[in-house]
Amino acid sequence: MSEPDPYLCPVSCQRCGLELRLGSGTAYLVRVEAMADPTPPLLDPREFGGDLNRAFREVLQELEHVSAQEAMDQVYRRLSFYLCAACYRRWIENPTG
């Protein structure tokens, strides 16, 4: 039994839904990587009454109600999607709009 041809799998533009033919030169694979600001926080011990352990305990208490996946999504996220040529042109010129 042969492997399925990856170019025959149906793929649609994630913006407009147009069915794309991979390998035809009319589709774009977009990869987005987002991460929280990696700069260490500026901590002023006076803000916590000199008790940084208490501050860490408070943060851990806040995180008790957050799943591991939710916490990770707040720190790092990577995703991929396909766009047709028309949607890609609009997206690349204004990716946040």
pLDDT digits over 66-85, tens only? 898 888 888 999 999 999 99
Query: Which single residue is written with the structure tokens 């600001």?
Result: 37
Cβ distance 82 to 14 under 8 Å? yes
Mind listing the pLDDT tens digit for each residue in 12-27? 999 999 999 998 899 9
Residue 87's pLDDT band, with cuts at 50, 70 and 90, is very high
Return the beta strands (E) in 36-94 as ranges. 76-84
Q: What is the pTM of this model?
A: 0.67
Cβ distance 1 to 17 under 8 Å? no
Residue 42's pLDDT band, with cuts at 50, 70 and 90, is confident
